[in-house]
């Protein structure tokens, strides 16, 4: 019943904001619009369509807001007015009361705000679906004042998210049971992945630890800045971090006026993404413009600034290697290898014909090569690949859903920064270098370093282990010899029995012959 009520509420909000007209205007059935108008009272149709869509998503909660954030980066797929409105969902969701935020902070640290901070800005600088951020000046233990950003979890999020996830699970069950593609699409597993990431986002200590990991991983790249976490002030509902100063990445004209090399910025973004994915297997998975800035400080001028680490993605070594091989095969236009990789990985049935799958992949990808980003849409490529996947029964991989979402974010950012960016040629050298490192001497030395502690522990035990092995081998040899002797004895006994029986038979035969001869004589 809870799911039914939630579904009815979602439908009512959409109808109230007039989204039915946007969806049904293309249908030549005016009675559908008349019906929806009758069902809904107090419709709000005076605002522009983009604003109505944004307000609908804001009213429906964090899951819908995140959906809008992803769409906001796809200006190749959306009209400009809708994309501009959805961009406000990146960090301009209506904030909750600053008094509530202060209450959460004081309960978390069991101190008043004035005892923790030299100053605290009550007006939030950014507000998103899960949390909002306030600037402050922290009282340091050494007596120093540090400029910080304080992130406070939006209250009541758990119950809202759980209701929406329950509805998504129900809908996933319908898709799986009613759709021909249900089992192949694995909707339940996809929702389970989404469930895990959303609940992780509600624990700000987990977010802080993800930020610390990314900060370590990216330290040697000199392309991106990640704020330091102040662990004495990190709790599940509140975290305090280093304040970062930069310009939002979607303010391209401001960045260009400041002297930032925009094409280089676009290339650096691709490098950062592929480094996190293929080198580290640990990547920022919420890279919409609200979470990305560019430093204009002299010491770090032109570097990326990453914020909001509530959603991060991880890949296994197997996933990384498989994906890298696929990307390289794509970049080399080796469609046969792409088909072979899909079959080897079990993503398509083993009986699939390589030549047929190769031809289908070629038909999807070949038209897009050697084109700048402004003429390229990964969204359209993925859509065509999805159509191809239905034909060849490709199984959806839930663990890669976040990666696909992030790749679309990256393309959207790259399109805004430098429409002439050649995504293929920018990524290809990085992936080829990475693959060489996976199979070359560097990889061998890395594995040896990683295994060195275990080898050091085993080395002193090696003589004893060798002695035990030889003893066991000797014992096994003795057993084998005994078994051979017993078998030989059995064969000898059988032979002796045959000789005895044969001899007795021969003697009896002679006796019988002699008796017969004597009978004839008499």
- Which residues form the catalytic set? 286
The three-point CA angle 363-364-369 to 5° equals 95
> CA-CA distance, 223 to 107, in Å (whole number)?
38
Residues with Cβ within 8 Å of 316's Cβ and at least 6 positions away in sequence, in order, are 281
User: Looking at residue 302, what DSSP letter applies?
Assistant: T
Residues with Cβ within 8 Å of 326's Cβ and at least 6 positions away in sequence, in order, are 338, 341
Exposure of 367 in the CB half-sphere (CA atoms within 13 A):
10
What is the DSSP secondary-structure string of 232-244? EEE-SSEEEEE--
> CA-CA distance, 3 to 9, in Å (whole number)?
10
- Give the residue among 264, 305, 269, 311 at the shortest CA–CA distance from 411: 269
Q: Which position has the token pair 């059995």?
A: 490
Q: Which position has the token pair 């991880």?
A: 314
Q: Which pair of tokens denotes residue 444? A: 């061998």
Strand, coil or helix: what is 226?
Answer: coil
User: In Å, what is the CA distance from 168 to each residue of 64, 96, 193, 297, 326?
Assistant: 12, 26, 12, 44, 31
> CA-CA distance, 162 to 150, in Å (whole number)?
26
> CA-CA distance, 282 to 279, in Å (whole number)?
8
> CA-CA distance, 70 to 473, in Å (whole number)?
64
**Which residues share a beta bridge with 487?**
none
């Amino acid at each position: 019943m809870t799911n039914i009520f939630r579904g009815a509420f979602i439908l009512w909000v959409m109808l109230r904001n007039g989204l039915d007209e946007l969806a049904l205007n293309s249908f030549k059935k005016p009675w559908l619009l008349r019906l929806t108008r009758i069902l809904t009272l107090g419709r709000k149709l005076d605002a522009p369509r983009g604003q109505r869509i944004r307000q609908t998503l804001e009213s429906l909660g964090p899951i819908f807001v995140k959906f809008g954030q992803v769409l906001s980066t796809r200006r190749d797929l959306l009209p400009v007015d809708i994309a501009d409105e959805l961009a406000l969902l990146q960090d301009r969701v209506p904030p909750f009361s600053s008094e509530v935020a202060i209450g959460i902070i004081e309960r978390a640290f069991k101190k008043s705000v004035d005892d923790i901070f030299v100053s605290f800005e009550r007006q939030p600088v950014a507000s998103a679906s899960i949390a909002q951020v306030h600037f402050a000046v922290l009282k340091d233990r050494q007596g120093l004042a540090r400029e910080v950003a304080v992130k406070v979890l939006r209250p009541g999020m758990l119950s809202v998210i759980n209701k929406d996830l329950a509805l998504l699970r129900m809908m996933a069950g319908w898709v799986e049971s009613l759709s021909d593609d249900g089992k192949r699409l694995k909707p339940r597993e996809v929702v389970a992945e989404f469930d895990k990431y959303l609940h992780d986002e509600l624990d700000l200590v987990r977010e802080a630890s993800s930020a610390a990991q990314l900060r370590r991983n990216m330290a040697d790249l000199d392309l991106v800045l990640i704020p330091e976490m102040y662990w004495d002030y990190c709790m599940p509902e509140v975290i305090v971090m280093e304040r970062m100063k930069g310009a939002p990445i979607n303010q391209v004209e401001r960045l260009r006026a400041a002297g930032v090399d925009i094409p280089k910025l676009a290339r650096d973004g691709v490098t950062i993404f592929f480094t996190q994915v293929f080198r580290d297997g640990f990547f920022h998975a919420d890279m919409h413009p609200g979470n990305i800035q560019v430093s204009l400080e002299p010491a770090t001028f032109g570097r990326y600034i990453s914020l909001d680490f509530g959603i991060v993605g991880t890949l296994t070594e197997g996933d990384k290697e498989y994906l890298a091989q696929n990307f390289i095969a794509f970049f080399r236009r080796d469609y046969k290898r792409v088909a072979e990789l899909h079959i080897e990985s079990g993503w398509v049935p083993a009986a699939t014909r390589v030549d047929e799958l190769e031809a289908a992949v070629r038909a999807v990808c070949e038209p897009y090569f050697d084109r700048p980003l402004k003429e390229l849409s990964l969204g359209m490529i993925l859509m065509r690949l999805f159509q191809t996947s239905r034909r060849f029964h490709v199984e959806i991989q839930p663990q890669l859903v976040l990666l696909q979402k992030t790749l679309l974010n990256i393309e959207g950012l790259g399109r805004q920064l430098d429409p002439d960016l050649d995504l293929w040629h920018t990524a290809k050298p990085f992936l080829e270098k990475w693959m060489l490192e996976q199979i070359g001497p560097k990889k061998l030395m890395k594995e040896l370093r990683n295994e060195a502690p275990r080898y050091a522990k085993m080395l002193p035990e090696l003589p004893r282990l060798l002695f035990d092995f030889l003893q066991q081998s000797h014992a096994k040899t003795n057993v084998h010899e005994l078994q051979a002797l017993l078998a030989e004895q059995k064969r000898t006994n059988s032979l002796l029995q045959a000789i005895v029986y044969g001899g007795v038979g021969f003697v009896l035969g002679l006796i019988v012959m002699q008796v017969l001869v004597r009978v004839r004589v008499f």
